[in-house]
Amino acid sequence: MIKLERIGHVYLSVADQEVSKRFYRDVLGFAVAEEDPQHGGVFMTLGDNFHTLDIGQTPNPEEDRHPEEAGRPDRGRIGLGHLAFQVGSYAALRDAYIHLQAHGVPLKVALNHVNQRSLYFADPDGNTLEIYFEVPYALELFANGRGDTDETLPLSKPGEPLPDWLLEDWPSPELKARIERIARRKRESIVA
């Protein structure tokens, strides 16, 4: 049996490699590990391995800059639906929201997925991206599934106050208590 550890990296073919490199580096915080056009393009990292995201120039960049000719990503088609990036705290999700707005990145939607809250937006080529915060021990908390009762969360426009959901203490006190019980059991099993 194959025992995969994690997804190593994703390769995106892009209409304008320089524009995409600036977006992923300057807006999302990736670092460029290497630029090697003969072996694929730009290899970018979030710092935990050599490359997390590879971007490469399409063979016909002039044609691909026109969405009607290039066939932009579409969730209703076969292929990549979106890329998701996890942050380590609810405060980091709030910071991401503020950062995206400050950089003029339009948000498509924000969703409460029960065990996580997510922001959805697009890169320069129209690929849907997600930044999310997932509650600790989500797999144990939702061993039978989340029920996926997604709730659309309101968005604010740049310059407007943040929506209330970004200012609240989340997750709820009840869910925090469940998380703490799981954490305590794990700590006790390590000591035992």
State the CATH number of the domain containing residue 23.
3.10.180.10
Q: Does the residue 17 lie in any domain?
A: yes
pLDDT at 149: 80
Identity of the amino acid at 31: A
pLDDT tens sequence across 57-73: 988 756 555 555 555 66
- Residue 125 near residue 73 (C-beta atoms within 8 A): yes
Q: For the chain, how many structural domains are there in total?
A: 2
Q: Which domain holds residue 53?
A: 1-61
Q: Does the residue 185 lie in any domain?
A: yes
Q: Tell me, yes or no, whether 100 and 192 share the same domain.
A: yes
Q: Tell me, yes or no, whether 99 and 189 share the same domain.
A: yes
Q: Tell me, yes or no, whether 86 and 57 share the same domain.
A: no
> In angstroms, how far is the first alpha carbon of the chain from the final one?
32
Q: Does the residue 75 lie in any domain?
A: no
Confidence of residue 143 (pLDDT cuts 50, 70, 90): confident
Q: Tell me, yes or no, whether 1 and 86 share the same domain.
A: no
Tokens, residue 167: 């200012």
Q: Tell me, yes or no, whether 186 and 113 share the same domain.
A: yes
Identity of the amino acid at 58: T
Confidence of residue 180 (pLDDT cuts 50, 70, 90): very high
pLDDT at 192: 72
